[in-house]
């Protein structure tokens, strides 16, 4: 299990090694895609080609966010509600609003 503490709020999430690796692998692929876009700009690639790659990065980030949100609801949110910490519902609603901007 991997446990990491959030610097901004002090909360932490214990993730299985499988989830931890899967999330990091997704982010590494996205990072590579962004580097590819940077190279395209440096090489003066045609705008629609760059925009196509930007759309792919956006889709990859959305997929990452969906996976993380699903795991969050299934674990953190469900556990907090079972424990009577209803403020988690407000936190989830605020998080969803940020994601839907």
Residue 15's DSSP bridge partners are 2
Give a yes or no: residue 79 inside a domain. yes
Give a yes or no: residue 48 inside a domain. yes
| Residue 48 structural domain | 16-99
Give a yes or no: residue 10 inside a domain. no
Give a yes or no: residue 6 inside a domain. no
Give a yes or no: residue 3 inside a domain. no
pTM: 0.82
Give a yes or no: residue 9 inside a domain. no
- Rounded Cα distance between 33 and 28, Å, is 9
Q: How many domains does the chain have?
A: 1
The stretch 35-40 carries a mean pLDDT of 98
Q: What is the pLDDT at residue 17?
A: 94
The stretch 15-20 carries a mean pLDDT of 93
The stretch 34-52 carries a mean pLDDT of 98
Q: How is residue 1 written in tokens?
A: 């299990």
Say which DSSP state 76 is in. I
Give a yes or no: residue 50 inside a domain. yes
């Amino acid at each position: 299990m991997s446990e990491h503490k959030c610097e901004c709020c002090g909360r932490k999430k214990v993730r299985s090694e499988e989830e931890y690796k899967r999330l990091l692998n997704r982010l590494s692929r996205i990072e590579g895609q962004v580097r590819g876009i940077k190279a395209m700009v440096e090489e003066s690639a045609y705008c629609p080609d760059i925009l196509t790659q930007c759309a792919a990065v956006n889709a990859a980030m959305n997929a990452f966010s969906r996976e993380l949100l699903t795991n969050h609801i299934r674990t953190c949110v469900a556990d907090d509600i079972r424990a009577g910490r209803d403020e988690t519902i407000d936190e989830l609603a605020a998080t969803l609003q940020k994601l839907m901007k």
